[in-house]
Amino acid sequence: MATLEQRLEDRVFEVASLALDSLDCGRLRAAIEAKGWVLVRAPAADRVGFEALCRGLFDAPMIHGGRRPRTGISDAVQTVDPGEREIAPHCEYAYTPFRPDLAAFHCTEAPTRAGETTLVDGVALLDALAPQARADFEAQDLTHDNEVPAIGWQRMFGIEDPSQLAAKLDAMIELFAARGGREQLRYRIGRDATLWFRYQGPAIVPRARGRAFATSVGFPPTPDRTRPGKHTWLRFADGSVVDDSLRHAVLRDHGERLAVAHRWRPGDVLIADNWSVLHGRRAFVGAREIDACFGYADWLRPPDRAPVRSLLWAWS
C-alpha cells in the first residue's frame, strides 16, 4: 500500500497566500485532472482568500441548499455538513442534476484529534470492486429519488416561487434530452411546495485518467420519514434495490481501505474533482471549522453531462 507521502506526491502546493497571482492556476488545474485532488497549503490564508480562490477557479458556484451556516462573503461559502458524525465517502450532490464539478474545503480551525476529511479515488475504487459488483453498476444506471422542503430549494436557487423552480427544472429536462438522455430528470412540486425529483445517471464516469466509480450510494432504498427535512433514496434504474453488500463494498471495505485521511492544518485547502473523487469525514468531538465551496468548471465537466450551470448560478 502506498504511504501517505507517496500518495501526496505532486499534488501539494505550498504558497504564501491563496491570491490567484501567487498560485499557478494552470498547474493547479493540470494536477486536479491528473491526480483527482490537490492540497494547497497556505498557513496565512483566511476564508476571504479561500472564496477568492474559488471565484478564480470555478466558472460558477453551486449554492448548497442544506442546513449549512454561511461563512463566506456570499452564500457560496458555507460550513461543511454540520455535526460531528462520520460521513461515508460520496460525490457531492451526485444524486441530483445539479452536481458540481469541483468540491473545495478550507480549514480555519483544525480539530485537535480525528475529524479528518477523507478522499477516495474513484478510479482505484472501480478497479477494486469485485467483477460482479462492477458488472451490476455497469449494467444499469442509478435512480436517486429526493424530497426537498421548500426552504432547501429556495436557498439553493435564490428564488421563492414554485413556478420559477418549475421553469428552471423544465429547462434542465430539455437540456438533458438535447444531450441524448444520458441523464434523466422527473419532478413534481407538492401543494406545500415540497419538491420531489428523480434523477437518473450512471455510477461510472470516464475521466482522462481512467474510469471512476463516482457517485453516492449511502442511501436506503425507501425514504425514512421518521426524520424531518430532506430525504434521498436509491435504486437501480429498473427499480431493484442496491443491496447492502454492494453498498458495503463501496462505502466500507474498499472505501475505507483506499481512503486518504487528511489531517487538517489551518489554511489548508483541499480541491477535488467531484466526478472521480469521493470525499467524507471521520467523526470528531469539539471544535472544527471547515468551510466548503462547490462549483462548476467547464474544463472538468464530463462531455456527456449537461452544462446546467448556465441555467442556475452565476458569481454575484
Question: Residue 77 or 80: which CB sits closer to ligand AKG?
Answer: 80
Pick 92 or 121: Cβ nearer Fe ion:
92
- Measured from the CB atom, the residue of 101 and 175 that comes closer to Fe ion is 101
Contacts of 15 (CB under 8 A, 6+ apart): 22, 23, 40, 41, 42
Residue 108 binds which one of ligand AKG, Fe ion, none, with CB within 5 to 8 A depending on kind?
none
Count of residues engaged in binding ligand AKG, rule: CB under 6 A: 11
**Among positions 71, 96, 108, 117, the unique one binding ligand AKG when judged by CB under 6 A:** 117
Choose the stretch contacting ligand AKG; rule: CB under 6 A; options: 79-87, 151-159, 176-184, 305-313: 79-87
Q: What own/partner pairs with CB < 8 Å and gap ≥ 24 does 224-232 have?
A: 229/67, 229/149, 229/152, 230/66, 230/146, 230/147, 230/148, 230/149, 230/152, 231/145, 231/146, 231/147, 232/95, 232/144, 232/145, 232/146, 232/147
Give the Cα separation of 13 and 136 in Å (integer).
Answer: 38
Stretch that binds ligand AKG, among 37-45, 181-189, 195-203, 279-287 (CB under 6 A): 279-287
For residue 33, the partner it binds in Fe ion, ligand AKG, none, with Cβ less than 5 to 8 A by kind, is none
Residue 30 and residue 57 in contact, taking contact as beta carbons nearer than 8 Å: no
> 117 touches which of Fe ion, ligand AKG, none (CB within 5 to 8 A by kind)?
ligand AKG
Question: Could you say whether residue 80 binds ligand AKG (CB under 6 A)?
Answer: yes
CB of 92 to Fe ion, least distance (A): 5
Are 41 and 15 a contacting pair, CB within 8 Å?
yes
